[in-house]
Amino acid sequence: MSRAAEPETPVERPGAYRSRFTGALESLLAEKRFPKITIGDLVGRAHTSRRGFYEQFDSKEACLVALLKEAAATGSAQAAAAVDRTAPWQTQLRQLVTAWIGVVDARPAPMLSYIRDVPLLDAPISADLNQDAYVNVARAISAGAEFRESGGVALTRTRALILFGGLEKLAEDALQHGAAVHEHTEEAVRAAILLAAA
């Protein structure tokens, strides 16, 4: 007589346990400012233990950095994928800016925390963030043959920093006033085109 197969214990994918904490932090950031969030809040929202938290992170600041790095990597990949590199340069910039705004509107908490909280972190912690994720995407797109051949100018790092610094300030202002960033898409696109046309 054959034995009935025992059900397999589900195996959590690598990083899933860690992402429970970053997801919990993102959820909490939608409700209150980072300095007011405690480890107790995090483990409660993640439905796990303090021990589990400290197996993944040294501090809540390290958890914030992990969240912001994940958000930047995911968001910049989404923005890059939204751009048709064969389109005229103005269309490419419109697609990039619109995609960036869509990322922020979909996940406003990480953006606000990046703007408000990162300047308050210790320098070695904040230095671990990839703050050029979107800048690098914009520069790669503007360096493309179609972009340049259709009249666009390859963005220097300075211009790309100005572009995304302005977009971040726009996002901060809109989100602090309870507005969606996409309400300002046309103005943002026009500013980006002016930067790339100079």
Tell me the per-residue pLDDT of 21-79, one tens digit each, with 9 for 90 and over.
999 999 999 999 999 999 999 999 999 999 999 999 999 999 999 999 999 999 999 99
May I ask the CATH class of domain 66-197? mainly alpha
Q: What is the pLDDT of residue 2?
A: 46
Q: What is the pLDDT of residue 69?
A: 93
Q: Which residues make Cβ contacts (< 8 Å) with residue 112, sequence separation at least 6?
A: 29, 171, 172, 175, 176
Indicate left, alpha or beta for 15 from its phi (over 0: left) and psi (-120 to 50: alpha).
left
Q: What is the pLDDT of residue 15?
A: 67
Q: What is the pLDDT of residue 141?
A: 95
For residue 102, count other CB atoms closer than 10 A to its CB.
17
The answer to whether 189 touches 93, Cβ cutoff 8 Å, is yes
Q: Could you tell me the CA-to-CA distances from 182 to 29, 48, 75, 115, 120 in Å, in that order?
A: 21, 36, 16, 18, 28
Q: Could you tell me the CA-to-CA distances from 4 to 8, 9, 10, 11, 194 in Å, in that order?
A: 12, 15, 18, 21, 69
Q: What is the pLDDT of residue 10?
A: 43
Low-confidence ranges of the chain (pLDDT < 50): 1-3, 6-12, 14
Q: What is the pLDDT of residue 1?
A: 46
The answer to whether 25 touches 89, Cβ cutoff 8 Å, is no
Q: Indicate the length of the chain as a whole number.
A: 198
